[in-house]
Structure 1
Amino acid sequence: MEEITVSAKTLDDAITEALIQLGVTSDRLDYDVIEKGSAGFLGFGMKQAVIKARRKPEVKVEPEIKEEPKKEEEKESIDAAAVKAVDKPAKEPKKDFKKENKKETKKEPKKEFKKDQKKENRKETKKEIEKEKPEIKEVELAKVEDATIKACEEFLYSVMKTMDMEVEIVSKIDEEGALSIEMNGKNMGILIGKRGQTLDALQYLTNRVANKMQDGYVRVKLDTEDYRRRRKETLENLAKNIAHKVKKTRRPVSLEPMNPYERRIIHSALQGDKSVTTHSEGEEPYRRVVVTLVRR
Structure 2
Amino acid sequence: MKKIIASGKTIEDAVRNGLTELQVSAERVNVTVVEKPSKGLFGLIGVRAAKVELALLPDAVETAKSESVPAVAPAPVIPAADKPASPSASADAILETERFIIEVARTMGLDITIARNDSKEGLVLALSGTGDLGMLIGRRGQTLDALQYLVNIVANRYSNSHLRIVLDAEDFRDRRRRTLEELSDRLAGQVIRTRKEVVLEPMAPHERKIIHSQLQNHGKVKTFSKGEEPNRRVVITLRHG
Report the TM-score when normalising by structure 1.
Answer: 0.48
Work out the CA distance in 2 between the residues paired with 1:231 and 1:148.
Answer: 28
Contact 2:225 2:233 in 1 (8 A): yes
Seen in structure 2, the aligned counterparts of structure 1 residues 275 and 177 have a Cα distance that, compared at 3 Å, is closer
Deviations 1:88-132 (A, max 9, x none): xxxxxxxxxxxxxxxxxxxxxxxxxxxxxxxxxxxxxxxxxxxxx
Please list every run of 5 or more consecutive structure 2 residues that lacks an aligned counterpart in the other structure: 1-41, 46-86
SS at match of 2:219: coil
Deviations 1:217-260 (A, max 9, x none): 11211100111111111111111111111111222122222122
Q: Does 1:233 align with 2:150?
A: no
Q: Does 1:158 align with 2:109?
A: no
Counterpart of 2:52?
none
Contact 2:90 2:161 in 1 (8 A): no
Counterpart of 1:120?
none
Please list every run of 5 or more consecutive structure 1 residues that lacks an aligned counterpart in the other structure: 1-37, 42-141
More helix by share: 1
Counterpart of 2:158?
213
Work out the CA distance in 2 between the residues paired with 1:169 and 1:214.
Answer: 20
Structure 2 counterpart of 1:261, from 167, 184, 206: 206
SS at match of 2:174: helix
Work out the CA distance in 2 between the residues paired with 1:275 and 1:285.
Answer: 29
Number of paired residues?
A: 158
Q: CA deviation at 1:160?
A: 1.3
Report the TM-score when normalising by structure 2.
Answer: 0.59
Larger Rg: 1
For the aligned residues, what is the CA RMSD? Answer: 2.5
Q: Runs of at least 4 residues of structure 1 off by over 6 A?
A: 38-41
Structure 2 counterpart of 1:171, from 83, 91, 116: 116
- What is the letter of the counterpart of residue 181 of structure 1? L
Work out the CA distance in 1 between the residues paired with 2:206 and 2:121.
Answer: 20
Deviations 1:30-83 (A, max 9, x none): xxxxxxxx8799xxxxxxxxxxxxxxxxxxxxxxxxxxxxxxxxxxxxxxxxxx
Contact 1:149 1:171 in 2 (8 A): no
Counterpart of 1:182?
126
Instruction: Report percent identity of matched pairs.
Output: 46
SS at match of 2:176: helix
SS at match of 1:286: coil
Counterpart of 2:142?
197
- What is the letter of the counterpart of residue 186 of structure 2? N
Work out the CA distance in 2 between the residues paired with 1:176 and 1:251.
Answer: 36
More strand by share: 2
